[in-house]
Amino acid sequence: MIYIIVILVICCFIFYKLYKLLYFIDMDNTLLFTGAPGTGKTNEMVSCGLKLWRKLCRIVRFKNWIYKKLHRNWKKEDLKVKPLLYSNIPIRIGRYSRLEFKLLCDKLYVGGLTPDFVKHKVSRDKFCVPLKIEHLLEQESQVPLSVTCCTELGKIASTYQWENENIQLHLDDYVSMYRQNTLGGFFLADDQSASRICTVLRSRIGTCINMIHFHKWWKIYWVKMRNISISEDIKVIEQNSTEDNMRTRVGLFPLFHRNYDTYAFSERYLTVPVGNDYVFLGYKTNEILEIPKTEKIKYQGQVSVTGVLPTKINKKNAVNICRE
């Protein structure tokens, strides 16, 4: 008997030590994931967004089922609307049935797309609702209890755009009042660094999850994480945050599909011209790369900028959006 007790104590001790080494995400209504490229921040944001969205869908279905049982003369208008998942990158949320896919293709034909395009480009995978700038600036409403996943938030609202009135008035109100506006929804975002996000938005997000050292083997991944409270003063928190207090999060990728494309924005680069590639002939070089300087010129109250290179990045939307 004594041996069994000793074995149980040892197992509990090992389990406790392993538990302390692992990281578990505490979900807030606003959450930010940060890390260098390739550290899995978008993967965690998408995974958490899908889990939250599916949980909220189950809650709505259960409440509607209860309502139907309690009210025999129920109407469709009285039922709660199914929550939606919004994102600025395509996130897979399921798969179309044969009938749904046929109706979708018929709608695309009517919209002007050729059968060859639909056959080779349109997938039977069902994706989330595109997040539009009208949503962020409160020009269009979102469905109650919805989840929003916004990647590269620092490019949408950079810290250098703090004077933009649309950010100060509309985007700031959108993030700060997101839980109120969606009646309990969740706003998740990611960026490479929290300091790149505009200050008015950064102060609205309570918790930042910082990620480093991403590793994967087959369908298993593990990454180091830590919490940084950024609703107050991020600089004070950073002084007491070292790599030693980071814990490891272990997860699994989907076995038979992918939730999103890690290179979702790669087609933006296809329009950049191909240049001439040279090779070095020795170990020495005297050339240090320099960024061309720009200059602001003010004349009679008008401001013009000279020296700006033309934009070669493709900013047009890919033909993969269909109105339901």
Other CB atoms within a 10 A radius of the CB of residue 178 amount to 19
Measured distance between the N- and C-terminal CA atoms of the chain, rounded to whole angstroms? 66
Other CB atoms within a 10 A radius of the CB of residue 189 amount to 27
Residue 154 φ then ψ, to 5°: -65, -25
Q: What is the C-alpha separation between 160 and 34, in angstroms, rounded?
A: 18
Domain boundaries, the chain: 25-89+130-266, 92-127
Among candidate residues 32, 55, 30, the one with its CA nearest the CA of residue 177 = 30
What pLDDT is attached to residue 324? 58
Residue 305 φ then ψ, to 5°: -115, 130
Is residue 174 a contact partner of residue 136, using CB atoms and an 8 Å limit? yes
What pLDDT is attached to residue 103? 83
The pTM score is 0.88
Three-class SS state of 222: strand
Q: What is the C-alpha separation between 90 and 155, in angstroms, rounded?
A: 18
What pLDDT is attached to residue 115? 63
The contacts of residue 282 (CB under 8 Å, 6+ apart) are none
The contacts of residue 152 (CB under 8 Å, 6+ apart) are 88, 190, 191, 265
Class in CATH terms, 25-89+130-266:
alpha beta
What pLDDT is attached to residue 235? 46
Per-residue pLDDT of the chain (324 residues; tens, 9 = 90+): 787 887 887 888 677 666 666 777 888 899 999 999 999 999 999 999 999 999 999 999 999 999 998 888 888 888 999 999 999 999 999 998 888 888 877 777 655 665 656 555 677 899 999 999 999 999 999 999 999 999 999 999 998 887 888 998 899 999 999 999 999 999 999 999 888 898 888 888 878 899 999 999 989 999 999 888 765 555 444 445 555 568 888 889 998 889 999 999 988 888 888 888 889 999 999 989 888 887 777 766 676 777 777 777 877 766 666 665
